[in-house]
Amino acid sequence: MANFIVEADGGSRGNPGPAGSGAVVIDASSGKVIAEIARFIGVATNNVAEYTALLSALETCSKIDPGAKVTVRMDSKLVIEQMSGRWQIKHADMRQLAAAVRELSVGRVTSFQWIPREENSRADAQANKAMDDGCDTVTIFDGAASSPVENTSHKMASVAEFNAELPSSVRAPGGVSAKLTTVILVRHGRTVLTESKRISGRGGSNPPLSAAGRGDAASVAKAVAQIGKTGPWAHIKAPSAIVCSPVQRAQETANIIGNAIGIAPYLDDDLSEISFGAWDGLTNDEAREKYPELFEQWRGSWQVSPPGGESLFDFDLRVMNAKNRIFDKHPGETVVVVSHVMPTRGFIRAAFEAEISAYWRPQISPCSISIVRFWANETAEILAINATSHLAE
């Protein structure tokens, strides 16, 4: 049975700021380095980077030899004491990472040892390599630790031109003074009305998520939990708040996401879906058949509303109020907004400073993710619209 030593470290240039983790895996019997791991994380804290370094190292150990025993050595007092069970883990991000480390540690890690920083230079060098290169690099050596048998490097294209604090495009106007608020827009999961292609707005029967909708929500929760840590949006600051529509399907989706990332959602009534009044529960064809003239007047109009329903003009005003409250409450944060098709389009419309057509041109699928960065109402940057790759897993 092989015995490995893992030396791991992480760093953040700004804390939080661009962060990287590094580790080396050493054959305990020969003292040879058998793997070097550099992983670019994105915007994160030192503590997140240190935990990520340990997690990446244990994953590599498992790949090299699933049965190997591991001694962990780090200069992070926090990680060593928490993983040894002597210190509590209070932060939600740390709890998630610690849980993943524990899962890989069972039956494998024999001890967690603190070492002085000067004895952890090899891991520190890998962490700095990740931050300098902005990419992940994993090199596994042969027994002589001289020639790699596997060398993989992956640079995140999404980071290449990304500015963590200001608009990324050089053409964007300068002089931005407001703090950045990143908004993760999530539509709720499917309901029986979604599945039967019936109109479902604010009010009406207010159906819960269907079985498929709960599956949607579980998938999007997993994707949101990766934001700020790994995957395509590792370079974005991790969410620190969730705000949602009070409509049942949105609340249920938000609660599933909240359980995944350890944050309790709060409600904002202005994020409710637009009201369709008498048309709620009908198909589009049924609404058109019952109200043929009104239906055609309603299409493409700011002012016309269904009977007992809400005009697009009034709806847009309240969604903008919700948006502004988010800016006021969460400057400098990443906020998950769980709502519906129309509020999501409203945020996108505001980011583009677009006209009414923005309310029907973007496709917004159930449990899709759209990401917009706002510097209050000064400027905005759109990172993603209707991302759904997480739903195919």
Q: Is residue 164 part of a domain?
A: no
Shared-domain flag, residues 196 and 337 = yes
Shared-domain flag, residues 96 and 7 = yes
Residue 85 belongs to domain with CATH number? 3.30.420.10
Which structural domain, as residue segments, surrounds residue 82? 3-155
Q: Is residue 310 part of a domain?
A: yes
Shared-domain flag, residues 144 and 8 = yes
Tell me which of 7, 50, 252, 273 is the catalytic residue: 273
Domain boundary among 121, 140, 155: 155
Shared-domain flag, residues 103 and 230 = no
pLDDT tens digits, 24-55: 999 999 999 999 999 988 777 899 899 999 99
Q: Is residue 160 part of a domain?
A: no
Q: Is residue 167 part of a domain?
A: no
Tell me which of 36, 50, 188, 330 is the catalytic residue: 188
Shared-domain flag, residues 148 and 197 = no
pLDDT tens digits, 56-109: 999 999 999 999 999 999 999 999 999 999 999 887 667 878 888 999 999 999
Residue 316 belongs to domain with CATH number? 3.40.50.1240
The predicted pLDDT at position 149 comes to: 66
Shared-domain flag, residues 150 and 211 = no
The predicted pLDDT at position 156 comes to: 58
Q: Is residue 150 part of a domain?
A: yes
Q: Is residue 166 part of a domain?
A: no
Shared-domain flag, residues 108 and 205 = no
Report the alpha-carbon distance of residue 372 to residue 385 in Å, rounded.
Answer: 9
Shared-domain flag, residues 123 and 224 = no
pLDDT tens digits, 369-391: 999 999 999 999 999 999 999 99
Share of the chain above pLDDT 70, in %: 95
Decide if 333 is catalytic. Answer: no
Shared-domain flag, residues 132 and 263 = no
pLDDT tens digits, 144-167: 445 676 666 665 556 667 787 889
Q: Is residue 65 part of a domain?
A: yes
Specify the higher pLDDT residue, 321 or 143.
Answer: 321
Shared-domain flag, residues 194 and 67 = no
Number of domains in the chain: 2
First-to-final CA distance of the chain: 35
Q: Is residue 352 part of a domain?
A: yes
Shared-domain flag, residues 253 and 128 = no
Decide if 353 is catalytic. Answer: no
